[in-house]
Each structure stands twice: as C-alpha cells, then as structure tokens.
Amino acid sequence: MAARRQDPGSRKPKGKGKGKAASARTGRRPAKRAIDVTPLPAGDAAADGRVRLNRFLASAGVCSRRTADEHIAAGRVSVNGEVVTELGARIDPATDEVRHDGRTVEPERPVWVLFNKPKGVVCTNAPGEQRPRVIDYLPDVRGRVYTVGRLDLDSEGLVLVTNDGALAQRIAHPRYGVPKTYAVLLRGRIRREDVDKARGGVWLSDGPTAGARITVERLGRDRSYLKVTIREGRNREIRRVFAKLGYPVQSLKRVRIGPLSLHGLGSGKHRFLSRAEVAALTELARGEGHA
C-alpha cells in the first residue's frame, strides 16, 4: 500500500510513548487529540469534516462498513497510534493516520463524473446484469463508483456518478430539494388546466407529489413539448403524473441537475466535474445555493 503523504505543516501521529519526530515548523510535538465518539446520523459527516471510522475504511476499499465495525471491535484498527474499539468513533481523513492490521489506510479520492445516459442503459452496478450499465461506459474511472439516483431504462440524459456517499445522498434525497429539469414529450395536446394540476401536485398511489415547475415549450395537434423541473424525484414521478392526467410520456430526457447541464456532452459521453462544480453542488445540497 502506498505510503501516507505528509504535509510539512500537519500534525504527525503520536502514540502513547514519547515520539521521536518533532514538528518541522516549531520543533515541538503537538498535543494528542482525543478520538471523537459523538454519534452522527447515518450517512452524515460532521461540519468539521470528520467522518465515521467504519465509513472511512469502507470508502478506502478496505472492507464493507459492517465488516469494518467487526474489525474495529476486534482491535484491528488504530488511529494516530492508538487502538480504537468504539464503533461510533469519528476521524478527520485529512489529518488523522488510520491503520488497519498495521498498514496505513489512504483516504479514497472523491470522484465526480457527469454522464449522458442513452436509452437502454441501466443505473445499476449488479455484476450479473445483462444490459449495458452506466459504469460500462466509464473505463477511465477507477475505483468503486455508483450513480446518484436513477434514470429508468427508457429515459435518457444526465446522470451523476461518484464515490462520495455523503454528498450523493443529499443530492438524491427529496428532503434537500436539488432541482432536476427534464425535456418531456407527451402524447396529446395538454390543456392549461391539466398543466396547472401538475404544477400544484397530483395524488399518486404513494401520496401527493410536491408539484413541479412547468414550461410549455410547444403544442402540436397531438403532442406537447414541456420542460419540467422537480425537486422531489420519486420513482418514475413525471411519467406517473402525466399518465394519470391522460398524457402518456413518449420521451423523457434529464437536461439539468442543479447547476449542471447537458451542454456539450453527447449521448454516451462523460466528463469529470471541476472543483467549482462540486462546490456549487455542495452549496445547493445544503440549501445555500439556487439553481
């Protein structure tokens, strides 16, 4: 395993005894920091950047979270030279040295990819899947990544792919209201009153929808072209809403996720997000930005 990269200005790991290493800047050893065992909601990271130890081990590819808990309880994991057995322990991946069975664990580098999904491609990582998967189109993306939410088999357009579970959860979860915009083609000429119904929310089998922002782009004799923005994102929500109103969806393409658009990205193509784009998504998922 690769050696841990050291920042000259960062704290160095310290065990129970007197360390030989000194700070390159001050010549004095830093004080030992206690391991934080304050409980966190599942999947969340602390505001100070600390994460659960089991999550850190899983994201670094050591083992699953469940297995990580077993290894922590068995005393196989140390943080800054001290064995940690508390299952709620949190660490700072940027400054804490974590060892598993004596070997340094390097944090996984976050990966964010924007992919333009064609029809017929599925958003699953199942190894036995016979249909083409999103990850099959990403040969240059290393490590374990997965799609943020899903687009069904017959839909196309933007899909985010990442290994950043905490931010992915916020983007996909209805509670955080990240807007997603779709180009929708309906069968039938939609009436104004039905557009208003869809905007206000429609009662489905699992309850009422939260409504949508809808722009009528063009109306034909037997077709309707719409732009629909939703923040809830239930399973097949747009298809179900318009089917209930009597206008089956003939095609659906996701053209925007928050600040990200399809511009310049051909079908079946992908690109890596810039740091600025990831920062904008993060602000939006915290309720600090507007799309």
Q: Do residues 200 and 180 lie in contact, with contact meaning Cβ atoms separated by under 8 Å?
A: no
Examine residue 40 and state whether it is found in any structural domain, yes or no: no
Q: How far apart, in whole angstroms, are the C-alpha atoms of residue 276 and residue 282?
A: 10
Q: What is the CATH number of the domain that holds 244?
A: 3.30.70.1560
Residue 10 and residue 30: Cα distance in Å, rounded? Answer: 10
Secondary element (H or E) of residue 213: strand 213-219
CATH number of the CATH domain containing 148? 3.30.70.580
Catalytic positions are 152
CA distance 196 to 42: 38
Residues 170 and 276 in one domain: yes
Structural domain ending residue among the three candidates 104, 128, 148: 104
- Per-residue pLDDT tens digits for 203-242: 999 899 999 999 999 999 999 999 999 998 788 999 999 9
Amino acid 48: pLDDT: 59
| Any domain includes 20 | no
Same domain, 63 and 78: yes
> What pairing do the DSSP bridges indicate for beta strands 223-230 and 90-91?
unpaired
Quote the DSSP letter at residue 2. P
Please give the residue that has the higher pLDDT: either 270 or 55: 270
d(CA 51, CA 108): 13
Of 65-74, 81-90, 167-176, least confident by mean pLDDT is 167-176
Judge if 95 and 212 occupy the same domain: no
201 and 213 fall within a common domain: yes
Q: Which of 88, 104, 120 is the last residue of a domain?
A: 104
59 belongs to a structural domain: yes
Mean pLDDT of the chain: 83
Residue whose tokens read 């290894």? 71
Judgement on whether residues 184 and 250 belong to the same structural domain of the protein: yes
pLDDT of 34 strictly over 70: no
Confidence of residue 11 (pLDDT cuts 50, 70, 90): very low
Distances (CA, A) of 79 to 67, 103, 179, 282: 17, 11, 39, 28
Range of lowest pLDDT (70-79, 120-129, 172-181) = 172-181
Give the C-alpha separation, 41 to 281, whole Å: 21
Tell me, letter by letter, the H, E, C secondary structure of 130-179: CCCEHHHHCCCCCCCCEECCCCCCCCEEEEEEECCHHHHHHHHCHHHCCC
Report if residue 14 sits inside a domain: no
Q: Could you tell me the residue range of the domain that residue 67 belongs to?
A: 51-104
- pLDDT tens string 263-281: 999 999 999 999 999 999 9
Residue 140, domain member (yes or no): yes
Which structure tokens are listed for 162? 């990442």
pLDDT value at residue 285: 82
For residue 250, name the pLDDT band (cuts at 50, 70, 90).
Answer: very high
What CATH code is carried by the domain that includes residue 74?
Answer: 3.10.290.10
- pLDDT per residue over 130-141, tens digit each? 999 999 999 998
Q: Are residues 85 and 124 in the same domain?
A: no
Residues 203 and 189 in one domain: yes
Burial class of 231 by CB neighbour count within 10 A (0 to 12, 13 to 18, 19+): middle
Distance CA(238)–CA(231), nearest Å, equals: 11
Domain co-membership, 59 together with 189: no
156 and 189 together in one domain: no
Q: Are residues 132 and 149 in the same domain?
A: yes
Residue 21 lies in a domain: no
Q: 192 and 240 in one domain? A: yes
**Binning pLDDT at 50, 70 and 90, where does residue 106 land?**
confident
Q: Domain total for the chain?
A: 3
Residue 13 placed within a domain: no
Q: Are residues 268 and 170 in the same domain?
A: yes
Q: Does some domain include residue 278? A: yes
